Amino acid sequence: MKTPLSKKNALAYHAEGRPGKIEVIPTKPHNSQSDLSMAYSPGVADPCLEIKDNPEDVYKYTAKGNLVAVISNGTAVLGLGDIGPEAGKPVMEGKGLLFKIYADIDVFDIELNDKTVDGMVSTIRSIAPTFGGINLEDIKAPECFDVEDQLKEMLDIPVMHDDQHGTAIITSAGLLNALEITGKKIEDIKVVVNGAGASAISCSKLYLSLGVKPENLVMVDSKGVLNRSRTDLNKWKQRFVTDRNISTLAEAMKGADMFLGLSVAGVVKPEMLLSMNDHPIVFALANPVPEISYDEAVATRKDIIMGTGRSDFPNQVNNVLGFPYIFRGALDVRATKINEQMKLAAARALADLAKQPVPEEVNIAYQVTNLKFGKDYIIPKPNDPRLISHISVAVALAAMESGVARKPVTDWDAYREELGKRLGLSNPLIRQIKARARKNPKRVVFAEAENYKILKAAEIVIDEGIATPVLLGNRDLIIGLIREHDLELENVEIIDPRSEDERERREAFAAQFFEKRKRRGVTLNGARDMMSHRNYFGPSLVENGFADAMISGLTSSYPATIRPALRIIGKKKGTSIVSGTYIMLTKKGPIFFADTTVNMNPDVDKLVEITLQTAETVRQFNIEPRIAISTISR
Spatial distance between the Cα atoms of 35 and 30, rounded to a whole number of angstroms? 5
User: Is the peptide bond preceding residue 29 cis, with omega within 30 degrees of 0?
Assistant: no
Closest CA to 120 of 142, 81, 148, 156: 148
The pairing of strands 258-261 and 159-161 is unpaired
pLDDT at position 571 is: 87
Sort 134 into a burial class: Cβ within 10 Å, 0-12 / 13-18 / 19+: buried
Q: What pLDDT is stored for residue 3 in this prediction?
A: 42
Nearest alpha carbon to residue 272 among 247, 258, 291, 253: 253
Is the four-CA dihedral 384, 389, 392, 394 of positive or negative sign? negative
- Write down the catalytic residue from 40, 61, 366, 558: 40
The low-confidence residues of the chain, meaning pLDDT below 50, are 1-4
**Per annotation, catalytic residue among 64, 95, 152, 343:** 95
pLDDT score, position 353: 96
Q: d(Cα 14, Cα 193) in Å, to the nearest integer?
A: 36
User: Which pLDDT value is given to residue 5?
Assistant: 61
Q: Is 95 designated active site?
A: yes
Beta carbons within 10 angstroms of residue 515's beta carbon: 12
Query: For residue 395, what pLDDT is reported?
Result: 98
Direct distance between the N- and C-terminal alpha carbons of the chain, in angstroms, rounded to an integer:
41
**What residue ranges define each of the domains in the chain, with the CATH number in brackets?**
7-27+63-157 (3.40.50.10380), 165-313 (3.40.50.720), 321-423 (3.40.50.720), 434-568 (3.40.50.10950), 580-619 (no CATH)
- 287 Cβ contact list (under 8 Å, min separation 6): 78, 79, 309, 310
pTM: 0.75
Q: pLDDT at position 1, please?
A: 36
Helix then strand then coil, in percent of the chain rounded to 5, is 45, 15, 40
- What does the H/E/C string look like for 442-454? EEEEECCCCCHHH
Active site residue 254: no
